[in-house]
Copies of this chain bind each other. A is one copy, B any other.
């Protein structure tokens, strides 16, 4: 059993590395957020640049703090709703530090007993804002 566990462990380590390489190679901005804590679990380089913050300062911080005019509780409610509802429906937000309009696409999932939300942040080009998505 020990041996089988170690073999399995090796193959899992491969996913760890694949995950890291993938986060760095994608051109999309991604945040992993704890569904309960509302804190950033991981962020890729594109997301850090879009939000205008270093990865070390972002990890462990409240995700709501990175966007304009949203209180933590309100933000997490929105995030949970977005993640559980039709995932093709984005939420329009503005980044706090870089004042960039973005569309947030959320996907909820469970990993190792913890509920996480993957957030993809798509920058909105000037003049291309979808009015029906604005609050």
Contact = CB atoms under 8 A, between A and B. Distances in A.
Interface string A14-30: 11111101111111101
Interface of A: 2, 5-6, 8-19, 21-28, 30, 32, 42, 105, 107, 109-114, 116, 118, 120
Given A9-B9, A21-B118, A25-B120, 16 more contacts: A9-B12, A12-B12, A12-B13, A12-B15, A13-B111, A14-B111, A14-B114, A15-B19, A17-B110, A17-B112, A18-B19, A18-B32, A19-B22, A21-B109, A22-B26, A26-B28
Contacts of A109: 17, 21
A18 B116 contact: yes
24 contacts: A5-B5, A5-B6, A5-B9, A10-B112, A11-B112, A14-B111, A17-B109, A17-B111, A18-B19, A18-B111, A18-B116, A18-B118, A19-B22, A22-B23, A22-B26, A22-B30, A22-B118, A25-B28, A25-B30, A25-B118, A25-B120, A26-B30, A27-B28, A28-B28
